[in-house]
Structure 1
């Protein structure tokens, strides 16, 4: 039910089939409402009567361990046991508006805000206790929700008399975590893993409510297709159909049971005749098609003279196809309209942005839309979560006072999620007479890398099915295309030019954005240049780095792999990147073997050296890095969205294969903990250098330079 306690509104529910959740009116006790301004201490934490502390974060747990990490951060500053810290994740009207859980920014933004708020709260409480107990602040100690000194003691809740902590966050407050490190820097395990392993209810897909109904949407066969014939009245007579919802070209069905809804969607979908929609290019012509699209061209970086002549030149063109998020659990949402307020449970990565967009699309006041984030089963980036939430909302508005659960099918997920865009990177680079990089000229062709919903309805899939013209979403976030496009190495003559196109497939944010393709291209060319210079690839990289932290990562990697031997048809490749050229460092090595008769590549082992500044949770950081390495290996060897002029054809795991458990390489990650540095995000740092190291290893094994992904087995046959 909705619980009002000290002005804190939350939707309480049990993740069990026998959930007893009932919706009541959406009201907030204004006289005791928390201040949700990010500058306010009480926006980030609340002292509770039971002696516990509730931490608020606008970020969502996506598997990156943010819930555990922020608890560690708060526990350190408040000197409380971890089991006394609770964490409330993204929910409108409850947590601060922190935008999206994206760009590896959760620790940098939310985590550090919680650190400052917790430290500020500690100092405010100690001062209050000093006055209340008539003892000097310096003589007092705070521990596990109590403050004591001499023979006097008070609990934090008693001290506050049930009120919130008043005051603004002090950006100059003393941070205990830099010196104490009782919790921060320790490998605290995530509390949610056991439930996942045991198959217990964890995800939005597991949510169940009394009397809940199930819905399915009849999606068209391809982009922009419109209904031209549909006997709507006849379709309403199907058995088990509770309601048929039609809004322009949007068709949804509702049934008591999920399988009934699935069957109804298939039957009714078979009665609809669609127009042809837009034709897409043929798969084999994709690279040429993209290069011939209209583009917005812009020079992003330009220094020196890239036109200098050189006898030692490397010129290559690299290609990355469209990639899926390929979430294990298809997108799902639950929506409930109580007649006044629309409530949505979603694994979206931004509750407030989704609320703004839903309100605009549904033409409702923002305060009448309430969104609570619930973890979803898999996904780094913008998948179909916002779309399915919108579809569920459209249907819930037609059936007030009923919880509507809508989960996409595997085919829906693969066909309609916004993909990571295809990219082309052309590089020309040269060496001077001393074997150092002289010139570097890079041209990038890319669609935008984000069309996340942040108020404009045209970013939501259902907007495409309405007669109202919401306008085209356009290219979206352009900066993702040239992320990491400029080499982190010292290059005296450098030019980076972007060519932004509007491609044929729906795209948005996918883990690491353009960094993946840019580093794949850069590190391949760096290896080629080191070979032409007659130098060891690691030494060549270090010669061109002015950053001692980058050099140390590579030096440690060099020491780690120096004893690794290879035999015929095996290769050892290396790579390096600093994500966004300003956050996490990652030096990578890969050992591969190639079966020359079949061209089959086996990644035997991956090594990573990671420097993400101050480490909050080394176990979490390793998990993030390892997961990125394995996902990247899958991208390198297997993944590619397939399509024809008739539409998307990668509609299942057979047509969109991913790395299977027997194929997963051994991974070894070593962390360089920099306590004196600020912590930075690392969730996307290992993606790009992994694939770069793999293709460099393939080159060492075969002499074949891979320039197009996924790796073509035919090229590697003996």
Structure 2
């Protein structure tokens, strides 16, 4: 039984059949631009044997949708898809049983084609709409009297349900929502983390045109106005006149590695296989990455309305259920008094500012009962205050014996935890809540448990066949710079480090990098993606001077999708990635175009991380607050991306959203080393970091 069905066993929670024949599908996974509602609707239509346009997936609402937790971890198809498949299969058989009872026939005699049930002679019995009055869907899954046989699966492309509105500019995003009498709010954040509000010109700003209210609670400061421009002007005046304390000191940006190693931390031994042995060749190296921003194109937004008893929130959060409970706790409301409706926003693939904006709106809505309150963050707020992906540093030591076999592997990692989402700490995970309470430093982020694939340690254990492996994580208990979940969590750096060392061991033993990996992979599916990527990229063919080619492999979480990448680069005055050849195995493919989109999008984002992205800061505040100080890949810097899918129709579906972050970055790093003959172990691969690596090479 899929986990989502164990928590939400009533078929009626998931499915409603209308008298017009439309089938309303409710799921607990939200649309982030990844096309998940299209894929889930495709699964439902296939299992119910109806035209896809007859299935209408509804946006997640905490009052009416099944609670499937977070939309994270590349689990939507794996978990929610399996639940939808089971629910629809059982619903189909309930309708078949109703058709049998109506005609007196045996269930096995009832045929179903294109949503219509017929007798053996072809006589019409009824459609789903015509039979809905005879079927009670308020039953739990698992009816043992039903013989469930899942429809045979065949991957295909169903046109994205969400794209027409986006292409033609129709109102679809949360930023487009408008309500009569809606108030516009702007938050005035502290100028520095940990700063406390001493004074602000509340009365003067309250008298500005259109301002309805100025709200102060502890260090939380905001304005409510009738129009958006009025709110912006009032917030600027409020910020200019506010006086704050000094705040806390941030780590030294030019020595973040040493700070990570020396900050207070707790040690978690993930794996320890015993005494190490010095081999015929040993590689010992340190790898690091900076803080990374989600850098959503659209800043965070939320709307809330409080009627005096119940609070309704509109949010683009990836975890609307945990968000609702956290807001209720923060405002001391009953848990069932808060309803969160998901509305699409700019995608983030992780914990960006969406939850914080929702808390902002909820808090301000309680100050203006009966009015809708809209909060929109500024670009500077988004880049300064959202939770970043943690900076990380890893020491890897590996040895091979005289036969070139890897015998020992050690991975030591220093990082903050990778999640601070609402629900993971009892209080103060959202900015408005923390600022209202005068909290100086937010609770340190934690890591997901092993059952969810770890956080810092994700993919720190090699998937290769190695006799002795040691993995230790030092999770920081200090968090002066706010961090939380970012696409792939610790897998990004861990895979980069691991695949770089594999290449270095191959060079030390005179072996081809692809051959080195194949020699240590017994899983045939892993071998297939690696061999496919190498063959499609024409691995081993000669390259002109100044060009390089690198390979990398990862099985996400060591139990999810398989991905192998070959990167082609040019290394002149700066690094340019020209082509990425990717082979991926996500098990049974539901929607081919959807998987390709996820792999291509992930590859482009990983390329941007690898070449450009890093949060910048001084000892007082974040300084990368716009697109100039936090550059991302531009269109002319995007490589050609070739995706080769290895469909496994008899295997369970696996997620595609986080398959590429680690192997794309690692393949680019290995290609850079191939082009220059110098290993760059510090991300991103900027000219400064490349020159530093060259200068440090004997």
Which category of TM-score, normalised to the shorter sequence, fits these structures? over 0.9
* Cα drift, residue 378 of structure 1: 2.0
What is the CA distance between 1:427 and its match in structure 2?
A: 0.4
Cα-to-partner distance string for 1:131-174 (whole Å, 9 max, x where unaligned): 11222212212234432213242232332317641432239864
Q: Within 1, Cα distance between the matches of 2:343 and 2:499?
A: 38
Summarize the Cα distance change of 1:716–1:340 in structure 2 as closer, same or farther, 3 Å threshold.
Answer: closer
277-286 vs 234-243, which moves further = 234-243
Matched, 1:450 2:419: yes
Are the aligned partners of 1:305 and 1:439 in contact in 2 as well (CA < 8 Å)?
no
Task: Please say if 1:491 is aligned against 2:466.
Answer: yes
State how 1:96-107 maps to structure 2 within 5 Å.
Answer: 96-107=66-77
**Equivalent-residue separation in structure 1 for 2:198 and 2:273 (angstroms):** 56
- What residue in structure 2 maps to residue 353 of structure 1? 322
Flag the 1:88–1:620 CA change in 2: closer, same or farther, 3 A. same
Alignment of 1:499-518 (within 5 A): 499-501=474-476, 502-518=478-494
Instruction: Work out whether residues 358 and 457 of structure 1, in 8 Å CA contact, stay in contact via their aligned partners in 2.
Output: no
TM-score of the superposition, structure 1-length normalised? 0.91
What corresponds to 1:32 in structure 2? none
Other-structure match for 1:706: 680
Q: Which runs of structure 2 are paired with 1:393-404 in the superposition (5 Å)?
A: 393-404=362-373
The question of whether the paired residues in 2 share the 8 Å contact of 1:463 and 1:470 is answered with no
TM-score computed with the length of structure 2 as normaliser: 0.94
Equivalent position of 1:126 in the other structure: 96
Note if 1:196 corresponds to 2:172.
no
Counterpart residue number, 1:558: 534
- Which among 481, 494, 510 is matched to residue 456 of structure 2? 481
Structural mapping, 1:481-630, within 5 Å:
481-501=456-476, 502-562=478-538, 564-595=541-572, 598=573, 600-630=574-604
SS in 1 for 2:469: strand
Partners in 2 of 1:489 and 1:203 — Cα distance?
43
Matching residue of 1:420:
389
Is it true that 1:438 corresponds to 2:407 in the alignment? yes
Preserved CA contact (<8 Å) 2:194 2:440 = no
Whole-angstrom CA distance in 2 between matches of 1:203 and 1:591: 37
Q: How does 1:368-407 map to 2 (within 5 A)?
A: 368-407=337-376
2:451 aligned residue: none
The change in CA–CA distance for 1:715 and 1:294 in structure 2 (over 3 A counts) is closer
Question: Cα–Cα, structure 1 residues 402 and 321, in superposed 2: closer, same or farther, change >3 Å?
Answer: same
In the alignment, which residue of structure 2 is the partner of 1:325? 294
- On the 8 A contact 2:419/2:446 being kept in 1, the answer is yes
Q: Secondary structure, in 3 states, of the residue corresponding to 2:71? A: coil
CA 1:215/1:163 → structure 2, altered by over 3 Å: closer, same or farther?
Answer: farther
Give CA-to-partner distance per residue, 1:453-482, whole Å, 9 cap, x none: 027331111122123669952331253000
SS of residue in 2 equivalent to 1:458: coil
Q: Supply the distance in 2 between the matched residues of 1:669 and 1:152 (Cα, whole angstroms).
A: 45
Stretch of structure 1 that moved more, 294-303 or 471-480: 471-480
Partner of 1:157: 129
Using the alignment, how far apart are the partners of 2:64 and 2:463 within structure 1? 41
Contact 1:108 1:681 in 2 (8 A): yes
Aligned to 1:687: 661
Question: What aligned pairs does 1:618-697 form with structure 2 within 5 A after superposition?
Answer: 618-697=592-671
> What secondary structure does 2:60 align onto?
coil
Q: Distance in 1 between matches of 2:440 and 2:21?
A: 50
* SS of residue matched to 1:404: strand
Of 232, 236, 258, the match for 2:206: 236
How far apart, in 2, do the equivalents of 1:565 and 1:334 lie?
Answer: 57
Name the stretch that deviates more: 201-210 or 671-680.
Answer: 201-210
Q: Summarize deviations over 1:18-59 as a string: whole Å, max 9, x none.
A: xxxxxxxxxxxxxxxxx9961121121111111111111011
Q: Distance in 1 between matches of 2:506 and 2:142?
A: 49
* Aligned equivalents of 1:353, 1:667: Cα separation in 2: 36
> 1:143 — aligned with what?
113
User: SS of 1:86's equivalent?
Assistant: strand
SS in 2 for 1:71: helix
Give per-residue Cα distances to partners, 1:379-400, cap 9 Å, x unaligned: 1001000100110111111111
Contact 1:90/1:350 (CA < 8 Å) preserved in 2? Answer: no
Displacement of 1:704 after TM fit? 1.4
Structure 2 unaligned regions, length at least 5: 449-453
TM superposition shift of 1:570: 0.2
Q: Which moved more, 1:695-704 or 1:467-476?
A: 467-476
Secondary structure at the counterpart of residue 544 of structure 2: coil
Q: Distance in 2 between matches of 1:56 and 1:457?
A: 30
Match of residue 335 from structure 1? 304
341-350 vs 553-562, which moves further: 553-562
Query: For 1:287 and 1:323, how far apart are their aligned partners in 2?
Result: 15
Alignment of 1:82-121 (within 5 A): 82-121=52-91
Cα distance in 2 for partners of 1:547, 1:235 equals 66
Select 1:186's aligned residue among 156, 162, 175: 156
Indicate how the Cα distance of structure 1 residues 57 and 683 shifts in structure 2: closer, same or farther if over 3 A, else same. Answer: same
RMSD: 1.8
Measure, in 2, the Cα distance between the counterparts of 1:630 and 1:175. 40
CA distance in 1, matches of 2:14, 2:33: 21
Q: Tell me if the contact between 1:614 and 1:678 (Cα under 8 Å) persists in the aligned partners.
A: yes
- Partner Cα separation in structure 2 for residue 359 and residue 41 of structure 1: 28
Give me the whole-angstrom Cα distance separating, in 2, the residues matched to 1:147 and 1:37: 31
Partner-residue secondary structure (3-state), 1:63: coil
Alpha-carbon offset, residue 235 of structure 1: 2.8
